[in-house]
Amino acid sequence: MARINTNPKLVAIFIIYFFMTSHVFTHGAQQQVPCLFFFGASLTDNGNNNMLNTVLKSNYPPYGIDFFAGPTGRFSNGRNTPDFITQLLGFNNSIPPFATATGSAIAKGVNYASAGAGILDDTSRALGDRISMNRQLSNHQTTISGMSSLLGPSTQVQDYLNKCLYIVEMGSNDYVNNYIQPQNYPETASLTPDQFAALLIQQYTTQLNALYTGGARKVAIYGVPPVGCIPQVRAMFPANASGCVDYVNKYTQLFNRRLKPLVDNLNANLPGAKFIYINMSGILISIIASIGASVFGTPCCAVSSAGVCVPNQAPCKNRDLYVFFDNYHTTEIIDRLVAARVYISILTTHYPSEIKNLDQQ
């Protein structure tokens, strides 16, 4: 494995970012919302795939090498972005995965995310089982039913859920593990990139409306990050001079550009709705550009053909200098920076309002 250039400028950048964001994570904020729900894929998953029949698992070393509980099902060397966001919002503990959430714990929220999940049910089927967005919504209905025994009548549950925050991270796998692999997903191969983006938005609109019907009012929707830059995609296709597979990023931008109008329509047509769009592509590109392109050229761990870490092999030692831990997923330090950007909006990447303002409404 190639070694990262540890030049003084690069180290200084990390030190600056650390001090710029560390106060946010250590000030002991009061809990800002009664509960927090995560929907998404592997960047958000914290254990839901552990018992599934899939190659997309991370409940073994070297995952969790820097996490106090060891390997838990987080696709990271340590904490992931939801862990940091949860801390920023003042929660004492991370939000549990649906697979293990029981009893009164669900009143604080549930994480439904599943590695490989997509807006489309068939996304990632070549890799095994996964909990699609539609299945995650079904699991959320189970949680809502369980809340009735804790909070009382359904009207009280709805009032409670109206005050909670929902974070939705979907769409990446629909490209990486569907559209750009026509040999495995012939049903979408005949669609133009614009038609495919329109299909995703059509399905996503129905799903987000269902989330609203279930009680969600404050919802943050992530845009798709620049997946043409992840090692797995760069191993599949020739990279451009940018270091990324540019046409894949152009595909995802067709989807991202439709998210702002979708947010506008939801807010205009659903009473009390406060949906926001988070420009994850802009956040990640700015972070990667700040720390130097050489950092994201190689994953920290040895990876299998599926792009996840080979079990029980030692990862790189200087993990704070790597963007990617495996061929898909970022390291803890990047997740920390992303969470800080998402929360305090270091750059103007949120539309139409910041998460911290959303929480206080």
Could you give the residue numbers annotated as active site?
A: 42, 326, 329
Identify the three-state secondary structure at position 83: helix
* 196, two tokens: 């495919």
CB 259 within 8 A of CB 239: no
100, two tokens: 């293990």
Q: How many residues does the chain have?
A: 361
Structure-block tokens of residue 58: 């991370």
Pairwise CA distance, residues 134 & 297, whole Å? 34
User: Where does residue 28 fall: left (phi above 0), alpha (psi -120 to 50 degrees), or beta otherwise?
Assistant: left
d(CA 333, CA 340): 11
Q: Cβ(181)–Cβ(126) under 8 Å?
A: yes
Which of 357, 239, 257, 247 is closest to 297 using CA atoms?
239
- Strands 274-278, 350-351: pairing kind: antiparallel
Tokens representing residue 238 in the block: 């020739």
Which pairs count as long-range contacts for 305-310, CB under 8 Å and 24+ apart, including other chains? 306/55, 306/56, 306/127, 307/231, 307/232, 307/235, 308/55, 308/56, 308/57, 308/58, 308/75, 309/58, 309/62, 309/63
Helix (H) or strand (E) holding 167: strand 165-168
Tokens encoding 181:
């692999």
- Give whole-number Cα distances, 102 to 59, 108, 147, 167, 282, in Å: 20, 11, 10, 20, 37
Q: Give the strand order in the sheet containing 165-168.
A: 36-39, 165-168, 218-222, 274-278, 350-351
